[in-house]
Amino acid sequence: MLGTGAGPTPKAGRQPTAAVLLHGGAAYVIDCGNGVGPQLVRAGVALKTMRAIFITHLHLDHVADFGTLVTQAWSQLRVPIKLTGPPPLARMSELYRELFSVDLNSRVAEEGRTPLGDLMHVQEITGAGDCYADDNVKVTCLPVPHGGIDYAFAYRFDCADRSVVFSGDTSLSLALADFAKGAHTLVHEAVFPPALHRLAPLGGAKLLDRIMGAHSAVEQAALVASRAGVAKLVLSPLAPADGVTDDEWIAAARTEYAGEVVVGRDLLEV
């Protein structure tokens, strides 16, 4: 877990959403909240082992650093990275390279680097299905409901010995429970409603309505884990990002789910 805090406003204790799945010496990044590159390095993940990046949706706290992460890994990349996410990720990738063209062009001209665009292979997804496969892992995606945004996806990683599902941001989705059936671990976003009133002064009732309409209470995340029959539920990203104890998160999840509950924490290895 690289970043476990929901929302774009910086938090002292949690980075915005990002995770990395490690298997067979390769790294697969799920979401690119601001700071994902430094968090990967702090986690001891060699940037050159990155094979693919999966963006669940285009809210800033999940996508802000997608281009910066590839740029930070650039000097170590020998083969292209595949980026998968909703449209207009391809256009965003072009615009990123235009935005930072002074830096990017100078490194190509002066250091002889491969143009960054040649190392960013973007695949846009708009529906459920297979979206990635290599010798390590097969990845499938499922649209999930997330308020008014056009596209939000969950991703399922099937490895030879284990399967892991990442919900991304989603309101309660029983389709997600079906999607996660047979998986070992479900990483699911979670909101702790009793603590949300602390956010009210920032945006009032409208913000609270938006949060609860687009996200999952921790009990709902637990219900999905229970229906899916997974062995382990990892809660991440969390809203609010602080002020709720691990015991409180776990007790709330326990009302709907009997399996192992792990409260997400930055740099926690699961």
List residues near Zn ion by CB under 5 A: 59, 169
Which one, 74 or 151, has the nearer CB to Zn ion? 151
Which one, 7 or 67, has the nearer CB to Zn ion? 7
State the helix-helix crossing angle for 246-254 and 218-228, rounded to 10 degrees: 50
Q: Quote the least distance from Cβ 175 to Zn ion, whole Å.
A: 18
Q: Quote the least distance from Cβ 169 to Zn ion, whole Å.
A: 4
Which one, 82 or 215, has the nearer CB to Zn ion? 215
Structure token digits, residue 160 = 């030879």
Structure token digits, residue 246 = 């691990």
Contact predicate 155/30, CB 8 Å = yes
Q: Quote the least distance from Cβ 118 to Zn ion, whole Å.
A: 30
Q: Quote the least distance from Cβ 152 to Zn ion, whole Å.
A: 7
- Compute the radius of gyration of the chain from its Cα atoms: 18
Which one, 54 or 74, has the nearer CB to Zn ion? 54
Q: Quote the least distance from Cβ 146 to Zn ion, whole Å.
A: 6
Cα gap 103→114, rounded to integer Å: 13
Which one, 50 or 144, has the nearer CB to Zn ion? 144
Neighbours of 190 (CB within 10 A): 28
Nearest to 167 by CA among 159, 158, 151, 179: 179
Cα gap 53→29, rounded to integer Å: 5
Which one, 115 or 213, has the nearer CB to Zn ion? 213
Q: Quote the least distance from Cβ 191 to Zn ion, whole Å.
A: 12
**Would you call the peptide bond into 88 cis, given omega within 30 degrees of 0 as the criterion?**
yes
Structure token digits, residue 29 = 């990044």
